[in-house]
Amino acid sequence: MALKRERSEQLYKQALDVIVGGVNSPSRSFRAVGGGAPVFMKRAKGAYFWDEDGNRYIDYLGAFGPIILGHAHPAVTEAIVQTAADGTLYGTPTEKEIRFARMLREAIPSCEQIRFVNSGTEAVMTTIRLARAYTGRDKILKFAGCYHGHSDLVLVAAGSGPSTLGIPDSAGIPQSIAQEVITIPFNNLDALREALDRWGDQIAAVLVEPLVGNFGIVPPQPGFLEKVNEWVHQAGGLVIYDEVITAFRFHYGGIQTMYGVEPDLTALGKIIGGGLPIGAYGGRREIMEKVAPMGPMYQAGTMAGNPLSMAAGIACLEVLSRPGVYERLDEMGKRLADGIGELARNYGIPVQINRQGGAFAVYFTEEPVIDYEGAQRADSEMFARFFRLMLDEGIYLAPSKYEAWFLTLAHSDEDISDTLQAVDHAFKQMKK
Ligand code: PLP
C-alpha cells in the first residue's frame, strides 16, 4: 500500500520556489526514478529515517556513503557536542588535526603527508592540480562513468573513441578544459594501452576509483590496478586513487591497502568525516611538498581541518577500528545480497548483483557488469518501479540505478529479514 507523503509533497513545492530544483544536490531528486517529490526526512537514528509524514524507512542510502556506523551514533554525536562547546572554528592549527592525520596515515601508509579539505570534490580537484604541478604536464586520464566530484576537469565525458579527447559533460565547462581529459572504459587494459601510446608523454595522472562505487559496485579485474600503476609510471605520470567512497568502507584502510597496490596520491572523503563535511588528500612526501606553503601549488580553505569534522572523523574511525566491524558488514551484505539474488531467481527477474563487503549493487540485467556500458544497459524502468515499490515498503534506496546499497553497523538481522520480505513483495508486484 502506498505510504502517504503529503507533507513531503507540500515541502517539495515550497523548496522548488526557493532552492533550485528543490534539492541541494541533484542526486537527491527523484528524476532518475520517474520524478515527483523526493521524501523529506525529519530525523534519523541508527538504520532508520523518519520522514515529515511520520513514515519510517530502513536506510540503505547511508547519505551516499558517509554514514557507515548508522545515524546519530553515540560516539560521533558525543564527539561533536563536546567539541562544539569549545568553539567550532579557530583558523589556527589544532592538535586534533595531527591526531587525525596520523590515524589516516597509519591506515593508508601511501599518504605520508595529508591535507584536509571540505569535500571529496575539493580533494580530487587538488590531487589533479598537484599531479600537474609535480609533472609539469596537463592531461588527465580517467574512466567512464566514475564520478569524481563536480570540478571542471572531471565533468568531462568520453569522446567518440578511446583515443579521442573529452567533451564537456556539463554546461559551463570550456572546450579547452575538456581537451585535457581522456576518458576510457574501466577494466579495459587495451584502451589504457592505446591512450598511453598516444598521449602518454602528456599525461600528468591517471585518476581511478580503484573499486568503482559510482555505477553500482564494480571491482577491478585481477591485475588491472597493477597494470595501471606499471604503465602510467613507465609513461612518467602519476596514479591518483579516488578513495572517497572506498576508504574505510571494506576494511580499515583503502582499496590500496586491501589489494596492496599503492598510488602516488589519494583523495579521501565521506566516511572519514563521520557524517560531517570533509575531504582530504595525501601522498608521497616529495609530491605533497609541492603544496603551499612548502611549494608552488596553491590550495587553501577557511573551514579545512575544522574541529568538528576532525572530532567526528576521529570518533568514527575509532569505532571502525574495533575488531569484527568489517566482518559484520560483510556478513550482512552477503545475507542481503544473496537473499535478493535468490528471490530474483524465484520470480524469474533478471538481476546481477555485484557486492563487496557491506556494499552492493543490484542491476536489472542478464549480463555481468564490469564497466559503465554494462551498468547503463541495466533496465532503468525496472529499477524505477522497484525503487517506488520498496519506498512504499518503508525501504529507502538511493534514487538511481547507478547507486549502491550501503549497509551500516546499525542494521540488525531483523532489518535484513524485513528488507528481504519487502523485496519479495516488490518482485511479486513487478511480475504482475
Ligand atoms: N569522488 C567519489 C568517488 C565520489 O563518489 C564523490 C561523491 O559522490 C566525490 C568524489 C565527490 O565528493 P563530494 O560530494 O564530497 O564533493
CATH of the domain at 335: 3.90.1150.10
CATH code at position 275: 3.40.640.10
Residue 248 lies in a domain: yes
Residues 296 and 414 in one domain: no
What's the whole-number mean pLDDT along residues 159-184?
Answer: 84
Tell me the mean pLDDT in the region 277-288: 98
Domain count across the chain = 2
Q: Kindly give the distance from the C-alpha atom of residue 108 to the centroid of ligand 1, in angstroms, as a whole number.
A: 19
Atom of ligand 1 lying closest to residue 246 CA: 3
What would you measure as the largest C-alpha separation in the chain, in angstroms? 65
Query: Are residues 380 and 401 in contact, defined by beta-carbon separation less than 8 angstroms?
Result: yes
Q: What is the pLDDT of residues 312-339, one digit of tens each?
A: 999 999 999 999 999 999 999 999 999 9
- Is residue 45 domain-shared with residue 91, that is, in the same domain? no
Please give the helix or strand (H or E) that residue 268 lies within, else none: strand 265-269
pLDDT digit string (tens) for 409-420?
999 999 999 999
**180 assigned to some structural domain:** yes
| C-alpha radius of gyration, the chain, whole number | 21
In order of 16, 46, 238, 299, the CA distances from 34 in angstroms are: 17, 29, 41, 40
pLDDT tens across 3-62, in order?
999 999 999 999 999 999 999 999 999 999 999 999 999 999 999 999 999 999 999 999
pLDDT in tens, 198-232: 999 999 999 999 999 999 999 999 999 999 999 99
The answer, yes or no, to whether residue 280 has pLDDT greater than 60, is: yes
Give the Å distance between the CA of 122 and the centre of ligand 1: 9
Residue 165 is classified by DSSP as: B
Residue 173 scores a pLDDT above 70: yes
Q: Which helix (H) or strand (E) holds 328?
A: helix 325-347
Residue 112 carries which side chain, given as an amino acid letter?
E
Between CA 134 and CA 296 the distance in angstroms is: 10
Among 260, 287, 320, residue at a domain's last position:
320
Name the domain boundary from 261, 292, 320: 320
388 found inside a domain: yes
Range of the domain at 63: 6-72+324-431
Residue 398 main-chain phi, psi, to 5 deg: -65, 140
208 shares its domain with 340: no
Verify that 112 and 22 share a domain, yes or no.
Answer: no
Q: What is the pLDDT of residues 377-427, one digit of tens each?
A: 999 999 999 999 999 999 999 999 999 999 999 999 999 999 999 999 999
Lining residues, ligand 1, CB within 6 Å:
64, 119-121, 124, 147-149, 209, 213-214, 242, 244-245, 269, 279
Query: Is residue 102 in a domain?
Result: yes
- For residue 368, being part of any structural domain is answered with yes
Q: Of the residues 116, 208, 245, 250, which should be mutated to test ligand 1's pocket, given the most ligand atoms within 8 Å of the CB?
A: 245
| Domain contains 386 | yes
Q: Amino acid letter at 334? A: K
**Same domain flag for 133 and 50:** no
pLDDT given at position 163: 55
Residues 140 and 228 in one domain: yes
| pLDDT class of 164 with cuts at 50, 70, 90 | low
In a domain, 1, yes or no: no
Residues 52 and 120 in one domain: no
Average pLDDT value for the chain: 96
Do residue 154 and residue 80 come from a single domain? yes
Q: Residue 283: what pLDDT?
A: 98
pLDDT classification of 160: cutoffs 50, 70, 90: low
User: Known catalytic residues?
Assistant: 147, 242, 270
Q: Which of 168-177, 360-369, 394-403 has the weakest average pLDDT?
A: 168-177
Question: Do 127 and 247 sit in the same domain of this protein?
Answer: yes
Cα 356 to ligand 1 centroid, rounded to whole Å: 19
- 46 and 80 in a single domain? The answer is no
In a shared domain, residues 316 and 365: no
Confidence label for 158 from pLDDT (cuts 50, 70 and 90): confident
Percent of the chain past pLDDT 90, that is, above it, reads 96
Q: Does 158 share its domain with 301?
A: yes
Q: Give ipTM to 2 decimals.
A: 0.99
Indicate whether 260 belongs to any domain.
yes
Q: Where a domain ends, among 320, 343, 370?
A: 320
pLDDT at 422: 98
